[in-house]
Structure 1
Amino acid sequence: MLSTHPSLQNTGYRYLPKITSLELPPSPNQELMPLTAKVNSEDKLEIGGCELGLLVEQFGSPLYILDEFTLRTACRQYRDSFATYYSGESLVIYASKAWSCLAVCSIIDSEGLGFDVVSGGELYTTLQAGVSSDKIYFHGNNKSAAELKYALDVGCTIMVDNWLELKTLAAMSAEAEKAVKIMLRLTPGIECHTHEYIRTGHLDSKFGFDPQQIDAVFTFIAKQTKLNCIGLHAHIGSQIFERQPHQDLAGVLAEWYKKAREYKLPVETLNVGGGLGIRYTESDDPPSISEWVKAVSKAIESACTRQQLPLPKLIAEPGRSLIGSACVTAYTVGSSKEIPEVRTYVAVDGGMSDNPRPITYQSVYRSVIANRMSAPLTENVTVAGKHCESGDVLIKDASLPVAQTGDILVVMGTGAYNYSMASNYNRIGRPAAIIVNQGETNLIIERETYQNLVERDRLPERLVRETSL
């Protein structure tokens, strides 16, 4: 049973998961905190049975803290919901661009999920984690010839995005005399309400074949002896709360599925992409994982029934909704600056290099002071990073207690697109990442050192100056 507190509505406790039993956890994407978050008797935040202040003492800050229980719960809810609501075969594959590292891949693989990779590096990482190639689907709108050959060699399924890839693969597979499994990414022309940078389904998108090209594409593939087109794919965007766009997508996919069968292509799989959003703020209200899966499953079943088609193998590609809410980032508070009648800045020891989403997407987050969880929220401050950019702001309007130097400030919902988009801007090393579970802590990514920052630099001899003593 997770702890509660009498002043729940007025303090940081309002961010804790509403859990009554760990046997029946809520949908992780609907929670601001990881499912194991609790406040201990010393008024300090714990996740996975580990006190965050002690974790910072041991591993430093900024620090990504991943809760294994929350991640596994999300995996199981996706997997089990498809088994419950979809009458045919299904597979959930993790969109590893959200966060690709050996430990994350290993955990998700152990839960029976497959993987969506979008680069040679993500493919390599997934394979190094022990994932079987037949569970890997290689995406991307501009895969290099080397990446295509790598994918062909290891035997994963390749999501073909455009004519260049299609013709390159046809030539490669014919030359190697090796069949390759492909799926076609098509642009469905469906709009959804999300940030313009993460909408991918509308016609004005860099991803996928235009629907008007379908006949030409199917005709070309039908003539290739080594291209085994097993399925069709479409994706409409990310951080989506609406159900209707996904239901509309089912109808479009079913029409393409029917046409593919008319060309005698061995299409048996439909991939609806991912895109389910998570709760970053109190006002966010995404569907639960099971609600989303039910809506998608029933939409595909209905669309196939209308078209008199057999049920395909159904694939979904969640990323953010699997891992986003499972991780928090812990910072140490440094300086503050009060500008009377304007704002107060509270600076932390990280910022845009470990979380570029606010400056890139205007993303909004919530935070707490982890070492004083019941302190009254009396301040409305701007949480600023340490980088030499005026736009390096993590949270513009954060409700916090009066922040003190040395406080541990925790930003929630940082599992997706935080480490994976992190940089060395200002020559700042990327943070360490740890995983917590039932009081046990394991380092999964080492903190970058100053030496790491220069180890790939090369100084030409003509620029080396002799130092005179």
Structure 2
Amino acid sequence: MGFEYREGYLYCENVCLKDLQEQLKDSGIFPDSPVFVYSKDLILKNVKSYQQALNSLPNDTGLNFSVKANTNPHLLRILRDEGCSVTLVSGNELRLALQVGFTPSQMVLNGNGKCRWETRLALETGCLINVDSEFDLKQTIEVSKEFNLEARVLLRINLNIDAHVHPYISTGMAGSKFGIDEEQLGHVMDLIKTENHIKVFGLHCHLGSTIQDLTAIRLCLKKLKTKLDESIDIKYINIGGGLNINYMEHVDDTQCIDHEDDQILKQVEGKLKDLPSNGFKIDHQKYKNKQINRRDWIKKLKEHDMLPDCIPENTTPSIKDLISTVEETGFHHSIKIIVEPGRSIVGNTAVLLSSVLGCKTSGNIRFIVTTGSMTEVLRPSLYDAYHHIDFTEPVEDSTRHLYNVVGPVCESTDFLGKDRFLKTPHEGCGVAVWDVGAYCSSMSSNYNCRVRPAEILVDGSSWKIIRKPDSYEDMMSAYEYQQ
């Protein structure tokens, strides 16, 4: 079921989100703060899609959820019950996974800089450790000897492959802080040969996040297979995660171009003016006071490679396509294949609900100011990520304008979306930011002394709070330490 509109109101499964907001407000417990709302049905569907695709492989497989995408224990329990394991990037994530009840031997601890206590905890629990560098290996050797523990390791290799993603979330190229450079792998293997406490179980390579083109992954898999053919005796291949989701899914069919606000058309017309005479031309008079279907408009612009930055192109390989690429590579049936998705399991399963504080104009820019902000959804401010934004209830003013949707945080970079064609909302109108299930709650903060929001899980017609909102007292409690 997921999220859908019914008679102008946004529903999560069978729960009207406007009614939910009113119930939370009437409870007196919740301030006028945003709230994350998750669909259990979507989580289960995404897990099942991975499991069905993995079952098509002749190899044994492991589906490891990347906990850094979302650390809510209630969601982790759902994934545990569905047969997932986890990939972790810190000692506290490891503690969380143990508390939730994941099987230690199936867990993987990543990290380009582990503290000794984190390495020791991983060794004591028996989870796999991704060795990320020579100094990481030396620390693992020292800790394993000190406590007489066996280290089951994967070697994370940097294969210098460009995944063509934002540089802040690219991890597989030379110059990245992650992984052992390919030419250093032999030296690292030589160091391991003389160590009885270290056993190499596999190789790992993760190229980055929001991967839209499987070409890079295909090249990565071929290189990993070459390493196997060079007689490295291993049991596991960890191909990482990073598969993109369709952040544009909810806007492709939106009638979104209002030519009372034609800044985008003027921007594109300026870019297209130097095209040959048979190039695509925009006639403002022809389209004045009309609206164009977004999908058709984007298609025309793509033909000339002139897609404006404010309308990002989104391509999304399917989970089935990813696993088919693994199958095409032809790993021996004795090799276990591990995948560690985060975004593609929980990314599309949540929206952030907030409310309109007001609208304003500065120069020729219109703003919708909401209670939601970069402290809940950091991705747009951090690397200009796109999230669909719309209202949770009918809006009387049917005229669309070009708006920047921003929050109340005291930073100019506090925006949720720019250049969005939206109706002019009334004060208090509900607003939803889509696809915030990954890297939003887990990256939220108390900046400006804002409280981190509540989180709610919807299951059919029922809902429950799976994280209470911060209070002022919660934020101040950490400062009450007395020596």
Both proteins in one fold, TM over 0.5: yes
Partner residue in 1 for 2:93: 122
Counterpart check, 1:46 vs 2:11: yes
Bigger mean CA deviation after superposition, 109-118 or 284-293: 284-293
| AA matched with 2:327 | S
- Give the one of 448, 465, 469 matched to 1:426: 448
- Greater shift, 177-186 or 417-426, is seen at 177-186
Task: Summarize the alignment of residues 16-55 of structure 1 with structure 2, pairs less than 5 Å apart.
Answer: 35-41=1-7, 43-55=8-20
Equivalent in the alignment of 1:437: 459
How far off its partner does 1:89 sit? 0.9
- The 8 Å contact of residues 351 and 437 in structure 2, kept in 1 or not, is answered as yes
State the 1:442 CA deviation: 1.2
Alignment of 1:357-396 (within 5 A): 357-372=379-394, 376=398, 378-396=400-418
Distance in 2 (alpha carbons) for counterparts of 1:334 and 1:458:
34
AA paired with 1:278? I
| Distance verdict in 2 for CA 1:442–1:270, change over 3 Å | same
Aligned counterpart for 2:134 among listed residues 157, 163, 168: 163
Gap change, CA 1:362 and 1:55, over 3 Å in 2: same
Mapped pair 1:417 → 2:439: yes
Question: Which of 339, 346, 349 pairs up with 1:323?
Answer: 346
Using the size of structure 2 for normalisation, the TM-score is 0.82
**Cα deviation, residue 169, structure 1:** 1.4
Query: For 1:57 and 1:180, how far apart are their aligned partners in 2?
Result: 53
Q: How far apart are 1:259 and its partner, in Å? A: 3.3
Secondary structure, aligned partner of 2:246: coil
Give the Cα separation in 2 of the matches to 1:288 and 1:251.
20
Seen in structure 2, the aligned counterparts of structure 1 residues 339 and 212 have a Cα distance that, compared at 3 Å, is same
Contact 2:2 2:349 in 1 (8 A): no
Distance 1:330 1:187 in 2: 39
Task: Tell me how far apart the structure 2 counterparts of residues 110 and 432 of structure 1 sit (CA, whole Å).
Answer: 23
Secondary structure at 1:219 match in 2: helix
Hey, what does 1:82 align to over in structure 2?
A: 54
Q: How do 1:159-308 residues align onto structure 2 when only pairs under 5 Å count?
A: 159-259=130-230, 261=232, 265=233, 267-281=234-248, 282=252, 283-299=313-329, 301=330, 304=331
Which of residues 5, 14, 35 in structure 2 aligns to 1:63?
Answer: 35
Q: What are the superposed Cα offsets for residues 330-389 of structure 1, whole Å, 9 maximum, x if unpaired? A: 01110211235x111111112011111111101111111111179746122111101011
Q: Deviations over 1:403-457 (max 9, x none)?
A: 1111000010111110111111101010010110111101111100011110001
Q: Which amino acid aligns with 2:445?
A: S
Q: Which runs of structure 2 are paired with 1:143-154 in the superposition (5 Å)?
A: 143-154=114-125
Letter in structure 2 aligned against 1:432:
A
TM-score of the superposed pair, with normalisation by structure 1 = 0.85
Q: Secondary structure at the match of 2:441?
A: coil
Of 395, 401, 424, 1:402 maps to 424
Tell me the amino acid that sits aligned with residue 82 of structure 1: L
Question: Which stretch of structure 1 is more off in the superposition, 279-288 or 426-435?
Answer: 279-288
Structure 1, unaligned runs of 5 or more: 1-34, 462-469
Q: CA deviation at 1:312?
A: 1.2
Q: Which residue of 1 aligns with 2:303?
A: none
CA distance in 2, matches of 1:51, 1:135: 39
- 374 and 66 in structure 1: CA distance in 2 versus 1, 3 angstrom threshold: farther
Deviation at 1:289, TM superposition (A): 1.5
Q: Secondary structure at the match of 1:332?
A: strand
Distance verdict in 2 for CA 1:392–1:70, change over 3 Å:
same
Name the aligned partner's letter for residue 324 of structure 2. Answer: K
Is contact 2:105–2:128 with CA below 8 Å preserved after alignment? yes
CA deviation profile, 1:13-37 (whole Å, cap 9, x unmatched)? xxxxxxxxxxxxxxxxxxxxxx422
Superposed CA deviations along residues 126-162 of structure 1, whole A, max 9, x for unmatched, are 1111111122100000010011111111221111111
Aligned partner of residue 368 in structure 2, secondary structure: strand
Amino acid at match of 2:474: N
CA distance in 2, matches of 1:236, 1:133: 25
> Structure 1's 218 and 260: CA in aligned 2 closer, same or farther, altered over 3 A?
farther
Give the match's secondary structure for 1:186: strand
What one-letter code is carried by the residue in structure 1 that aligns with 2:239? Answer: V
* Alpha-carbon separation, structure 1, partners of 2:457 and 2:402: 31
Aligned-partner Cα distance in 2 for 1:373–1:237 = 39
Could you say which residue in structure 1 is the equivalent of 2:271? none
Choose which of 324, 337, 349 in structure 2 pairs with 1:314: 337
Q: 1:279 to 1:96 in 2, by over 3 A?
A: same
Q: Structure 2 CA distance, aligned partners of 1:38 and 1:68?
A: 14
Q: Which secondary structure does the structure 2 equivalent of 1:76 belong to?
A: helix
Q: Which one-letter code corresponds to 2:336 in the other structure?
A: K
1:73 to 2:45 alignment: yes
State the alpha-carbon separation in 1 of the partners of residues 356 and 322 from structure 2. 38
1-side partners of 2:399 and 2:359: how far apart?
A: 17
Cα 1:388–1:134 change in 2 (3 A) is: same
Describe the shift of the 1:253–1:63 C-alpha distance in structure 2 as closer, same or farther (beyond 3 A).
same
Overall identity of the aligned pairs, in %: 28
Letter paired with 2:45 = T
For 2:373 and 2:335, how far apart are their aligned partners in 1?
44
Aligned to 1:32: none
| Partners of 1:182 and 1:229 within 8 A in 2 | yes
Question: Compared with structure 1, are the counterparts of its residues 460 and 145 closer, same or farther at alpha carbon in structure 2 (3 Å cutoff)?
Answer: closer
In 2, distance between residues paired with 1:260 and 1:224?
A: 19
The corresponding residue for 1:22 is none
Instruction: Give the superposition deviation at 1:51.
Output: 0.8
